[in-house]
Amino acid sequence: MNNPVRFFIADIHLADNQPAVDHFDITAGFLSFLKQLPNQCELYILGDLFDYWVGDDVQSILHNQIADALKELTLRHIKKFFVHGNRDFLIGKHYAKRCDMNLLSDINCLVNQNKNIVFLHGDLLCIDDPQYQKFRKIMHKKWLQKLFLLLPLKIRLKIATKLRKESSQHNQIKSEIIMDVNPKAVIDMMIANNASIMVHGHTHKPATHHLYINDEPATRIVLGAWHDGISYIKQEKNSATLELYNHSFK
């Protein structure tokens, strides 16, 4: 299909037994969002669909529910694409197949007029946090991931819980500047990918940033986390621009 309507989402952070936020059930909200997507559109999930992922072999009610809902979109000719986040980078081919969802690389481009849209989860842009970047590089080693997935499920869950707790503690003492994207990293990536638009999540700071690259106008659009409200980006057919929508429930 030429020039389909595109939707971008990120940082939904689905989890089992997740408490409602201000009476809003994030899982129910996500399932409702999927049902309201127009037929024949494209859906790009830019990471952290789940709050954590310890292997495709985990058979939870939530995992099955989400897989079924995403697969049902195929009946409406909706294509789904997934970029790994920092919480669910272990989602593999098996679960993607259950969702009928295409796994993408860390950095991707879509043709948009004479330039590209470059899209990614966003953590690669946070280069002012060398501690995290070092941790990310280690955790993305394929041999280490394979070794982790061979561990008993109980041990994997304990490790995941420990890492999430440590990450939360470290983030509390880090400055917001360190945890945000580096402006130069943004520009360098856009130039390298001949992009006039960048889309990412990860920072939980929804906004549209206007900038200039080599005297040409450019845009960086940041998706919000669904802990704060439903957040998505929409690109209409043949449109040179993307619109960010945030529906807060706070």
Distance CA 100, CA 43 (A): 12
Is the pLDDT assigned to residue 165 strictly greater than 90?
no
* Tens digit of each residue's pLDDT (9 = 90 or more) over 99-108: 999 999 999 9
**Residues facing 151 on adjacent strands:** none
**Higher pLDDT pick, 165 / 14:** 14
Measured in Å, how far apart are the chain's first and last C-alpha atoms? 38
Q: How many CA atoms lie within 13 A of 141 on its CB side?
A: 10
pLDDT attached to residue 167: 78
What is the mean pLDDT of the segment spanning 20-25?
67
Give the residue among 50, 194, 46, 192 at the shortest CA–CA distance from 120. 46
**Higher pLDDT pick, 236 / 23:** 236
| CA 26, chain centre distance (Å) | 15
What is the mean pLDDT of the segment spanning 221-237?
93
CB 14 within 8 A of CB 49: yes
Say which residues have a Cβ less than 8 Å from residue 86's Cβ, sequence separation at least 6.
47, 48, 121, 123, 136, 202
CB 113 within 8 A of CB 102: no
Give the residue among 202, 207, 230 at the shortest CA–CA distance from 34. 230
**Higher pLDDT pick, 22 / 85:** 85
| CA 5, chain centre distance (Å) | 18
Q: How many CB atoms lie within 10 A of CB 116?
A: 18
**pTM for this model (two decimals):** 0.94
Label residue 173 by pLDDT band (50, 70, 90). Answer: low
**Residues facing 248 on adjacent strands:** 229
* Tens digit of each residue's pLDDT (9 = 90 or more) over 129-146: 999 999 999 999 999 999
What 3-state class would DSSP assign to 98?
A: helix
Region for residue 53 given its phi and psi (left: phi exceeds 0; alpha: psi -120 to 50; beta: otherwise): beta
Is the pLDDT assigned to residue 168 strictly greater than 90?
no
What is the mean pLDDT of the segment spanning 148-152?
96
What percent of the residues of the chain are helix, what percent strand, and what percent coil, each to the nearest 5? 35, 25, 40
